[in-house]
């Protein structure tokens, strides 16, 4: 409701308006609340809320298999998976499980054709070093703080960071000031500029409108949601789940590498104004994969303007989205739809 869905919530949280750049304009889209406990999803078994990467992939796979049994007319359709942020883990792990199970059963249980991950979290070393380099190259921290981090932090080590490293990390966090880390140039919700005149102007208070709307009893009844009376309100993020995460590999790059050699389409894309899972961290992760370039870096276009930049590697495509933060379809809906449509068509984003 703040990104790629068919509806957005109006200011005040009482009514909806139609998103002209919704991704379901060009594909059948299943929105899966995952893992258990997120959004309106729930379990009657308390141990299900102690979860992690492995269980999340297994649960998502179980859901998909059963959904396709319920709606068999979709079994032969091309199936693609997209996600963002920590879905840098979820998406490749689920794709890997699908491909493995297709081999084990010797039949195409799920007709997986591709994956696309936006502003993903892939590799802890690339994440840490890339984040501070992004801060510095985008003038969020001083030369001195950046040099202090470069000199004192060994992000490739499994050892805890040194006291000096932590001191500079704290300085970096303070130096950035009060900005939206997910979109460093965007206004904050408290700003007076939160009355956008069009879809192309992001409203920083969108999350608040959705919170109000989805906690309205009549809305929950219409959605057949929260029928069990989940304690507490619906929330954008479930912190309890995060505190009970029991497995998280330091890197999923070997899984992504496996996917690139499997024959499916693999796209990674990055909104370039996100500092949380930045374009820099993704590029550092890509460097570790050591893929050869097939189509060199070029500017792609939509609506007569540069939508971002793209490079095609052997069996993997990397695309940036200009002026987009962590949640790409929120900030640049038209560019995001062009990107998604290109992914569906199996073609690089348009060069003119």
Instruction: Check: CB of residue 326 under 8 Å from CB of residue 295.
Output: no
Q: CA-CA-CA-CA torsion for 162, 168, 173, 176, nearest 10 degrees? A: -160
Q: Is 86 exposed, middle or buried (0-12, 13-18, 19+ CB in 10 A)?
A: middle
Distance CA 114, CA 88 (A): 14
Whether 326 sits among the annotated catalytic residues: the reply is: yes
Helix axes 163-176, 143-152, angle to 10 degrees: 150
Residues pairing with 7 in the sheet: 18
Point out the catalytic residue in the list 274, 275, 278, 330.
274
Cβ neighbours for 304, distance < 8 A, ≥ 6 positions apart: none
Whether 274 sits among the annotated catalytic residues: the reply is: yes
Distance CA 144, CA 152 (A): 12
Query: Quick one: which H or E segment has residue 113?
Result: strand 112-118
Selection from 74, 132, 178, 166 nearest residue 276 by Cα: 132
Take residue 299 and report the two structure tokens written for it.
Answer: 């500017």
Whether 330 sits among the annotated catalytic residues: the reply is: no
Point out the catalytic residue in the list 123, 203, 270, 326.
326
Take residue 23 and report the two structure tokens written for it.
Answer: 């991704």
Take residue 296 and report the two structure tokens written for it.
Answer: 């060199």
Point out the catalytic residue in the list 85, 270, 275, 342.
85
Cite the active site residues.
85, 274, 326
């Amino acid at each position: 409701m703040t990104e790629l869905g068919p509806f957005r919530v109006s200011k005040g949280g009482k009514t909806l308006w139609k998103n002209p750049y919704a991704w379901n304009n060009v594909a059948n889209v299943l929105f899966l609340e995952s893992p258990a406990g997120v959004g309106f999803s729930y379990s009657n078994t308390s141990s299900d809320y102690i979860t992690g990467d492995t269980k999340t992939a297994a649960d998502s796979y179980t859901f998909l298999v059963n959904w396709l049994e319920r709606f068999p007319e979709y079994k032969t359709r091309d199936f693609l998976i997209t996600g963002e942020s920590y879905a840098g883990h979820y998406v490749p792990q689920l794709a890997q499980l699908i491909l493995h199970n297709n081999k084990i059963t010797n039949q195409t249980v799920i007709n997986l054709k591709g994956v696309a991950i936006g502003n993903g979290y892939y590799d802890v070393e690339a994440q840490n070093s890339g984040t501070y380099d992004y801060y510095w190259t985008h003038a969020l921290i001083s030369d001195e703080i950046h040099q202090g981090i470069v000199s004192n932090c060994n992000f490739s080590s499994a050892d805890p960071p040194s006291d000096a490293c932590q001191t500079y990390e704290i300085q970096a966090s303070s130096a950035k000031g009060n900005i939206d880390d997910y979109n460093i140039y965007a206004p904050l919700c408290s700003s007076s500029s939160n009355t956008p005149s069009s879809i192309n102007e992001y409203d920083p208070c969108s999350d608040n409108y959705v919170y109000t709307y989805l906690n309205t009893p009549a809305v929950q009844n219409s959605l057949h949601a929260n029928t069990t009376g989940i304690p507490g309100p619906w929330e954008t993020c479930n912190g309890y789940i995060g505190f009970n995460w029991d497995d998280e590999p330091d890197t999923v790059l070997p899984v992504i590498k496996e996917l690139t050699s499997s024959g499916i389409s693999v796209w990674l894309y990055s909104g370039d104004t996100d500092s949380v899972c930045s374009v820099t961290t993704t590029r550092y992760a890509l460097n570790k994969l050591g893929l050869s370039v097939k189509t060199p870096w070029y500017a792609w276009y939509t609506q007569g303007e540069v939508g971002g930049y793209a490079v095609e590697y052997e069996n993997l495509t990397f695309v940036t989205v200009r002026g987009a933060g962590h949640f790409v379809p929120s900030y640049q809906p038209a560019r995001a739809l062009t990107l998604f449509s290109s992914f569906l068509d199996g073609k690089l984003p348009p060069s003119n």
